[in-house]
Structures are given as C-alpha cells and as structure tokens.
Structure 1
C-alpha cells in the first residue's frame, strides 16, 4: 500500500463524493467544504493520476471510463473504512444513531425525545431521517424504526405497535360527517403510493372506495396531514401520525372505528452484534411512550 502515500486523502474523498453524487455542490455539502475546495481537490487528484476523472457537463459531472474504474475501488474502500469506524463508535454506550422514516420522526418522535434526554442525559441520539432499511452490521446506524411485516432478512425485528387507521379532518369538516357514507360528499386527501387503501377502513363498514370523490394529492403523509389540518379534506391516517394533532384540537377523528392494516412498526437492530446499553434504553423508552398513546 505504499502508493497511498503518493495521493492526498482529501482529494480521493472529493473524487469519491463527486462521483457518487454527480455534482460539486452535493459533494461539498457532504464533505462540509466549499464547491471551490471540492473542485480544486479533484483537479489535484487528476494531476496526480495524469488523466481526467470526470467530464464537466452543464448538469454536473460524468465519470470518464478511467474515472469509473477508479470510483469503483474508491467507493468500496471508503465504505469499508466507514463500516470500521461505525463499529468502533457503536462500542460507545453514549452514542445512538437511529434511522427512522421522516414522517414518524417529524410527527411523533422529535416531540418526545426531550423526555428520553431527561431520563438518559448521558446518551446522545443522532436521527437519520430515511426510509431505506440499512444493514446494522456494516453501517453507522444502530437502530431502524420501520413500518412493514417485520420479515426483513438478516436483522432482528421486534414489534413496537400495530398500525391502525382511521379518517381524520379539520373540526369544522368533521361536523358534516355523521356516518361513514357521508365521506362520499367531502374531498378525500390522498398519497400517490400509499401502503394501504381506503378499502382497509371502508370494507369493515360495508362500503368500498368507489363511493369516494376526488381531492388533493400530496407526495407524502406529512403533507397530507397538514392539508387535513388546513381543512382541505379527509385523510386516512394512523395514531403516530395524527395522534398529537387530535390531542391539541387541530384535527378530529369523526368516526370511532379503527382498523388494523396488518402491518406494524418494528424496532430493527443487528442480528449478530451485542445490544448496547443505549439501544436497550431506547427500546424500553420507546415501548413505554407508545403505550402511553392507549392511556
């Protein structure tokens, strides 16, 4: 590995980040430096390699054939380094990295984390708002909180709470809803690719989705909930998404019926690595907080 001494590590990091993101701006944001600094580091690396690594295009950077070959090894190498550092940090009982879907994080978790800090002031939590299920064995993530059936391979998944759904809307709009069939006369707020449809709630009430009219469509559940608060229609929500808005009077649940979707929230950790004190503390606290919603 003597050739490593002939190349600047910062330059190689800049090359790898730029190749992965495809733009100088995104690479600079990841590395915490300026765009100009990334550009200069790439130029120095190209001088050391003696040939260009990227084509400069109006929309960003495109690796040359030589650059693609180099990036394959750089990406694999830095991934291995990151995994090694993640394992080193995971051994600390005062650091916890939690990967959680942005909707769950923004509408439920962040509003309760202060209570965790009060109980465990020595544990530092880092929230990674992400929907991808990462590998806890090789990443810097200690815990994933995910929605699904819990049958992911090569991980340990412990059920936190079943997901139950129910319609929500603004209090003024709720006054127009006396029975489920009244949903035919109000706007319906939808996601383009939901994990479940209205049939999961309408079916047990002897109805189907054909009774529903149109309404606004938003790209994620958080925006759908905000639209419901604003009085734009009725949205099919769940407890961790809508519970706080209902408790504070911003939303109403016009019907008492709540039905399971068959999926649940899961606490996902490594199947092989020992569970740290921080992970155990966070799991116990999370279960207790979720149980409070039923009281």
Structure 2
C-alpha cells in the first residue's frame, strides 16, 4: 500500500470516472467539480505515475493501451471501496433509498406515501429526487424509477408502465373542445425539456404536422402542469404526471385518445446487488398503486374509440 502514498486519491478518482463514463463532463458531474478540474487531476496523476493514460483527440479522451489495463484494475478497486461504504450505510435494511425524478416524486409519489406507511410501518423511505443517473453499483440507492426505453447500460431494468400521452386542460378551457382539431384553436403550455413533442399525439389523431399556438414554455414538467391547472393553456401530459389532477377534477382530458411515446416507466437497480425484502415490498406496492391509478384515470377519462380521418392529398 506504500505505493499509494505517492499518488493523490482525488487524481485516481478523476481518472477512473473519466475512463468509466467516457467524458470529462460526465466525470465532472459525478464528482461535483468542473471539467477543467478533472482534466488537471488527470494530468497530475499521469505525471505522478510517469505514464500516459489517455490520448487527447478531437473525440475526447481515449485510453492508451496501458490506460485500459490500468482503468480496469482502478475501477475494480474503487468498486470495492464504494461497496464497502455502501454496505455500511445499508446496515439498517428498514431504511430504503429510492431515486426518482423530481416531477415523479412531486406529482405521483408524495400523494401515496401514507398508504405505503400504513402497509409497511416497519420500512422508512428516503427519497432522492434527482434526474441524475447514479451509479447503482456503488451508491446507497436501493432502487430507482426512471423514464426511457429501458436500455440503460450497467443496470437491471423492469418495465412498470408504458408511457402514454394525452392533452389535459382546465375544465373551463375544455368547454370549447369538441373534436381533436379544436385543440389547434387554443394556446398550449410547453415543456421545453420534454423527451417527446406534440407531434406524437397529433399524428395519432390524424393531424400530423399541425402546429399549436404556444403561450408559455417552461423547463420543468411540473410547472407546465401548474400552468394548465391555472387555465393558461393545454398541456400534453402522461399518466403519472396528470393522473391525480385529473381524478380530483382540477384538470380534464378533453379527448379520450392516448398515444404511446415508445418510452416507459422502469424500475432500475444494480444487477450485482441482492434485492432486499424492503425493496421487493416497495416495488410490489408501486405496481399496485400504478394499477389503481390507471383504473381511476380510465374511470374519469375513458378511452375513446377513435379512427382518424385520412389526410387529403
């Protein structure tokens, strides 16, 4: 272990993160520093080792032959260290750490936590609301819920709910909506960071290529939902975002037409870590809640049998 005295640990962490994640920016985000700081740490470590670990190319950092061998052992070593720390944090399996996006936490999860506590009074949840994809092998996160295609590298993913989108608006605004084309006559509120566009739904109803008049654009879906509730425009929402607002009446679904986005809600977890009883219980409860939420949404906003009129031309 004396060899470690000559090398700064922060430099080794920077090397390992950049090699594993493939970019200075990703490494900087994980280490909570700037890309420039990561670059400097890598350069210092190379100088201390007397070996070049990365080639600097137009495509970014590319490990040298020695760098690839070094990174394999370095990642293994840091993985062991991280697992040791995580195991200490996981000593109390009655505390379950859940990683979810802030919008899912605010618009779906928090409304239901009392029911989880009633079913599992012996399990305490710690909610990590973030969009950052944490390293599930080395963090203390037990399970995450993410939206995507389900093909994230290095994780085990299990489909929870296929994502469907549909317009929602205030009851007053819905009074002027009789058929899908009417949606083009009212203003829309937009999520500027959305993974999909209105075209997904417009195509479903035979209005592909049509444009809506945009009133406001936000960078967060939860704010768009609040704007729709306030009557500022129509929003393209999905089940877990708008379900509660629809069932309690602050929003309505003017057309019972839903379009699949190709994405879904997934449980994500470490493929190498044993699933605890608390994790299994949480996942089972979430599935039950999703099923009940969809039942209530279907009652409040039944699906319509809709056949789009073919475009003329």
TM-score (norm. length: structure 2) = 0.70
Q: Name 1:44's counterpart in structure 2.
A: none
Q: Deviations over 1:227-276 (max 9, x none)?
A: 00010000000111001111111111100111111110000111011110
The answer as to whether partners of 2:79 and 2:137 remain within 8 angstroms in 1 is: no
Q: Which runs of 5+ in 1 are unaligned?
A: 5-19, 24-61
Find the aligned partners of 1:101 and 1:294 in 2 and give their Cα distance. Answer: 20
Find the aligned partners of 1:209 and 1:91 in 2 and give their Cα distance. Answer: 55
Q: Name 2:62's counterpart in structure 1.
A: none
RMSD of equivalent CA atoms: 3.1
Q: Name 2:220's counterpart in structure 1.
A: 220
Other structure's SS at 2:162 match = strand
Q: Name 2:284's counterpart in structure 1.
A: 284
Q: Map of 1:104-119 to 2, 5 A cutoff?
A: 104-119=104-119
Find the aligned partners of 1:161 and 1:288 in 2 and give their Cα distance. Answer: 12
The answer as to whether partners of 1:89 and 1:95 remain within 8 angstroms in 2 is: no
The Cα of 1:93 is off from its aligned counterpart by 2.3
Q: Name 1:53's counterpart in structure 2.
A: none
Find the aligned partners of 2:106 and 2:214 in 1 and give their Cα distance. Answer: 27
Find the aligned partners of 1:175 and 1:87 in 2 and give their Cα distance. Answer: 56
Q: Map of 1:21-40 to 2, 5 A cutoff?
A: none
The answer as to whether partners of 1:96 and 1:126 remain within 8 angstroms in 2 is: yes
Q: Name 1:29's counterpart in structure 2.
A: none
Other structure's SS at 1:274 match = coil
- Establish whether residue 196 from structure 1 lines up as the match of residue 203 from structure 2: no
The answer as to whether partners of 1:91 and 1:276 remain within 8 angstroms in 2 is: no
The Cα of 1:80 is off from its aligned counterpart by 7.2
Moved over 6 A (4+): 76-80
The Cα of 1:208 is off from its aligned counterpart by 2.3
Q: Name 2:131's counterpart in structure 1.
A: 131
The Cα of 1:209 is off from its aligned counterpart by 4.2
The answer as to whether partners of 1:133 and 1:144 remain within 8 angstroms in 2 is: no
Find the aligned partners of 2:189 and 2:90 in 1 and give their Cα distance. Answer: 42
The Cα of 1:193 is off from its aligned counterpart by 2.6
Q: Map of 1:114-263 to 2, 5 A cutoff?
A: 114-263=114-263
Other structure's SS at 1:96 match = strand
Find the aligned partners of 2:86 and 2:247 in 1 and give their Cα distance. Answer: 39
Q: Which runs of 5+ in 2 are unaligned?
A: 5-30, 49-74, 296-313
Find the aligned partners of 1:206 and 1:152 in 2 and give their Cα distance. Answer: 33
